[in-house]
Structure 1
Amino acid sequence: ELSYPFIIMALWGILMTSLICTRQTDLKSPIAYSSISHMGLVVAATLIQTPWSLTGAVMLMISHGMVSSALFCLANTNYERTHSRTMLLTRGLQTTIPLMATWWLLLNLFNMALPPTPNFWGELMIMTALFNWSPWTIIITGLGTILTAAYTLHMFLMTQQGHLP
């Protein structure tokens, strides 16, 4: 089929953008790359054209759109308070703004697709459909999920934990 190379590129893009996220120092960059990574799942799901994949794609697009917008809003709030987007310079905000730290935690858990969030159900539907299409895709999507958790937790810990600079 003509869609095979595009599905493979979309899955490869999930891994590459996730790896790029782990090396970012600017707070807005991992949020933006996270969107690209999540949309790689959506592209792959759309190309295999099954009911589960299309339902999961719509669910993931809607929920990720809300979560990503809220994360950008929080990143801007961090910038307004610290006048810096560098994660190393925004450490320790949990002690000064505990309510905002709670929102950071909640939205990062949504971004990681923690159950029972809509992101989780969308990703689960997509991963199930991709696994039915080809069992090898579970390796790539599994690695993508692990990397997403890694850079999301890194972003949270770098901005909320530690001592104030």
Structure 2
Amino acid sequence: AVDIWGAGCTFAEMMTAMPLFPGEGDIDQINKIFQTIGTPDETTWPGLGELPDWNKIQFPKSEGRGLRNVIRNHSAQALSLLTQLLLYNPHARHTASAALADPYFITEPLPLQPDVTAELMDGRSDLLLLAQPKGKLKPWEYMEFVGAPFAWPVSPRGSSLDGLGDDDNNAEA
């Protein structure tokens, strides 16, 4: 069940090119999880109170933002699969076999064959250039696609952008 949780986190990171729960240490990590999918209780995870150390730290009760609000611009099937991979109750969480049989994998658009994907990706695996039938997305299009803000890098004051043409936004005041 822990491996399935990890597969869910990896799946989410593949969809967004960012960690789903970017915590800085154990406690912050747990808080990020709770802020995203809610604080577990005996309803969502029967036997939770019997886990060692569960009652040693009191976490604020949170309903969570919900995966749908964190993972945007993806199909209902993708979100459904992700939700099943990230259920708190390990007995209710998808097994590997159930995950592979999930409707996500047989719903249009179907995945491309590996050789077609490699050709579209032009040998790149960094996800910053997402393969599309009409070409690759620009960085700002990609950020919009995954629902993240995009900002152009700002050059430090006094730096030179020689060779890139004149730009009033970079001129010294």
TM-score, normalisation: structure 1: 0.28
Larger Rg: 2
TM-score, normalisation: structure 2: 0.27
User: Which has a greater percent of helix?
Assistant: 1
